[in-house]
Structure 1
Amino acid sequence: MAMELACTLSTSIATPEHIRIAEELGYVSAWCHYSPAIYADPWMMLALASERTSRIGLGVAVVVPRFRHVADIASSAATLTQLAPGRVTVAVGAGFSSAALLGGRGATWASVEAYVTNLRALLAGEQIELDGRKMSLLHSKESGISLPVDIPIWVAAHGPKGFGVASRVADGVITNPTHGNEKVPFQGTCGLSYYGTVLEPGETYDDPAVLERVGPTAALALHMGPYGPLAGSAEETGFTARINALPEEERLVATHRGHLISLTELDRQFLTGNVVRDGTLSGQPAEVRAGLDALEEAGASRFCYTPGGPDIPRELEAFAKAFGL
């Protein structure tokens, strides 16, 4: 299989150790999810991970322009690069739930494009103009930061506008196969981020142990409602009805509480074997390999596996074996 295996992690205090394990297993990179209302700080966890590893790529997915000033992200990326030379990547995206959970909207694709352009220029030691003022990074050698810094900058792309921006300014894209089955419209490195679990011999999709370990990621298929892979199913319609019965101002939080990292009581009511089968890449090793082959055919050059549940090391190891590492 020419496709590479990476992982995307729902950032927690345990993430540095999980990244160390991923490196031992042969994962080429580890991305930390960035959503301030849900996860631990990704930059802190990646800095700690840099001390425990020597080869694995380290990245943040995704930086949203509305969250932090571009110079702030440039400084964080430059600092991490000093700790892990040649291993850092940053993905920039428009954001949706991460921005909405902080009371705002996602960024426009035009602002994502400008952010990537300015981020690249600042890391190169160049001057930019922003909001009518000129600025640049001014780190001296005493800071320990050495400019220029040359790191890959990816775009988390969805839809024609997102892929259009990526084609103009990105070194790679990270996306999600649940947004469509058409071939990824990007000429370059493409990471597909997805989730699932490898079944043990004799296990079925609705075994309690399976539901527990894949539940936090499988629940995302419920959270996507009628726009996701479970559209029209009894589980999706039931979950969506319960969400829509809540006051409008409570729906977003109720949908995204525990997003990709833990199960809520509402999630558990609608989590079934059907959700695991139809909403994740799960199955016996041969079934998982077949699913990976299909994603590679759709244009993925890197599969970014998102493990879930209470035993992340088990999930990382089982998926690495199914992948063929």
Structure 2
Amino acid sequence: MEINSLFPPSLATPDHIVLAEELGFKSAWIYDVPVSFADTGITLAAAAARTKSIRLGVSVFTPHLRHLTMNAALIAHLATIAPGRFDAAIGAGFSSAAYLARKPAKWAEIEEYVTALRTLLAGGEVDWEGAVVSLMHSPVTGITFPVEVPLWIAAHGPKGYATARRLGAGVITNTRHGHNPVPIDGLCALTFGGTVLDEGETYDSPRVIEAAGPNAAMALHLGEQGPLAGTDEARGYAQAIAAVDVRRQHLETHRGHLIDFNKLDRPFVTGEVIRRGSRSGTALEIATQLRRMEEAGATAVFYQPGGPDIPRELRAFREAAELRHQIPALPVPEPAADQEVQHA
């Protein structure tokens, strides 16, 4: 199982990707939410120029944020400057759609979108929104076709998994959104957010709250559909967001999403929210989680570090990941029914 990294991009992310390569992470992907994070293309271009072997990627491109040709052109450019080491994930969109007060794309749209992307990257033309479109880069630009890029589908339920199977694509998923740790055969990557606790450290310690809190806050946003269902914190957050002007709820819910606290999140991010809403734990506990994922069939884990000291988080997680090789084989739990939840 590959140990990979995943970042909500900031201006410091290229530095962190360089470190991830030095530490032995196989891939470094970033989120694509341009109204909230540093620019996707600029961040990965900077990282590509400073790295040699680590794979780079985006998770996820969605139909909402840019025209089909704009995403295809960005993929072509990044794949050209990082030859043989660029991946692109496509998803229905949760956060990215919510920022625009829109609903996630339907899976039929995603299937059509991926098919069109593949055609454009192969150098072909497609009928899109009433027009014939293509990528028309002259060889003088340095970008030539076809462009070969592995495509992944971000999915968290049976409809998304079925779409990935039909497209012959890998799946990247967040197991906190459903019950089955590995939903399909083949390439399946699991996201992993949290912090490695130091010896004697508790879930409610200031460092742990700062490092894991932004990721755990996502569980507050999921409410009764997430791992905090039925808790006082989830109910309190639901009441707080309900008090916001309905025209701004989509903004305030996702302000700082996955990278920082916002004023609505912070009062409800407790040690219990960290424990239940993230995958934080001791090095041995995290190693055990990773060993269980590996034995269940996961082909990769994407770790998202958080807080003010990203280098510390990367180093600690990489060390914990190595411990999994020292853990005896673990029984794989029986899977429960799938749960369909969208997330960008």
Normalised to the residue count of structure 2, the TM-score between the two structures is 0.90
Identity of aligned residues (%): 50
Distance in structure 2 (CA, Å) of the matches to 1:78 and 1:87 = 12
Counterpart of 2:25 (choices 21, 24, 27) is 27
Paired residue secondary structure (1:266): coil
Structure-to-structure mapping, 1:99-138, within 5 angstroms:
99-138=97-136
Distance in structure 1 (CA, Å) of the matches to 2:253 and 2:296 = 29
Paired residue secondary structure (2:132): strand
In structure 2, the residue matched to 1:225 is 223
Q: Aligned partner of 2:26: which letter?
A: V
Counterpart of 1:72 (choices 70, 73, 80) is 70
Distance in structure 2 (CA, Å) of the matches to 1:245 and 1:297 = 45
CA shift, 1:246, in A, is: 2.5
Distance in structure 2 (CA, Å) of the matches to 1:65 and 1:246 = 28
Counterpart of 1:269 (choices 267, 270, 288) is 267
Distance in structure 2 (CA, Å) of the matches to 1:128 and 1:20 = 37
In structure 2, the residue matched to 1:97 is 95
Distance in structure 2 (CA, Å) of the matches to 1:12 and 1:282 = 22
Distance in structure 2 (CA, Å) of the matches to 1:116 and 1:23 = 29
Distance in structure 2 (CA, Å) of the matches to 1:183 and 1:276 = 20
Q: Aligned partner of 1:93: which letter?
A: G
Distance in structure 2 (CA, Å) of the matches to 1:137 and 1:283 = 47
CA shift, 1:249, in A, is: 2.3
Question: Conserved in 2, the CA contact under 8 Å of 1:167 and 1:187?
Answer: no
Backbone CA RMSD of aligned residues: 1.5
CA shift, 1:125, in A, is: 1.4
Paired residue secondary structure (1:305): strand
Q: How many residues align?
A: 323
Greater mean deviation of Cα atoms: 175-184 or 131-140: 131-140
Q: Deviations over 1:146-193 (max 9, x none)?
A: 211111011111222111111111421111001112253322211111
Q: Aligned partner of 1:304: which letter?
A: F
Distance in structure 1 (CA, Å) of the matches to 2:289 and 2:101 = 37
Q: Deviations over 1:45-75 (max 9, x none)?
A: 0000001100111111111112212222121
Question: Conserved in 2, the CA contact under 8 Å of 1:196 and 1:218?
Answer: yes
Residues 297 and 279 of structure 1: CA distance in aligned 2, closer, same or farther (over 3 Å): farther
Structure-to-structure mapping, 1:139-150, within 5 angstroms:
139-150=137-148
Structure-to-structure mapping, 1:283-322, within 5 angstroms:
283-322=281-320
Greater mean deviation of Cα atoms: 292-301 or 95-104: 292-301
Q: Aligned partner of 1:49: which letter?
A: A
Question: Conserved in 2, the CA contact under 8 Å of 1:182 and 1:298?
Answer: no
Counterpart of 2:150 (choices 149, 152, 167) is 152
Distance in structure 2 (CA, Å) of the matches to 1:101 and 1:152 = 27
Residues 43 and 130 of structure 1: CA distance in aligned 2, closer, same or farther (over 3 Å): same
Question: Conserved in 1, the CA contact under 8 Å of 2:175 and 2:181?
Answer: no
Q: Aligned partner of 2:140: which letter?
A: E
Q: Aligned partner of 1:169: which letter?
A: L
Unaligned runs of 5+ in 2: 324-344
Greater mean deviation of Cα atoms: 17-26 or 167-176: 167-176
Question: Conserved in 2, the CA contact under 8 Å of 1:43 and 1:60?
Answer: no
Unaligned runs of 5+ in 1: none
CA shift, 1:280, in A, is: 1.0
Greater mean deviation of Cα atoms: 179-188 or 256-265: 179-188
Distance in structure 2 (CA, Å) of the matches to 1:305 and 1:171 = 21
Distance in structure 2 (CA, Å) of the matches to 1:5 and 1:286 = 16
Structure-to-structure mapping, 1:127-206, within 5 angstroms:
127-206=125-204
CA shift, 1:132, in A, is: 4.3
Residues 269 and 183 of structure 1: CA distance in aligned 2, closer, same or farther (over 3 Å): closer
Paired residue secondary structure (2:247): helix
In structure 2, the residue matched to 1:44 is 42
Residues 188 and 253 of structure 1: CA distance in aligned 2, closer, same or farther (over 3 Å): same
Normalised to the residue count of structure 1, the TM-score between the two structures is 0.95
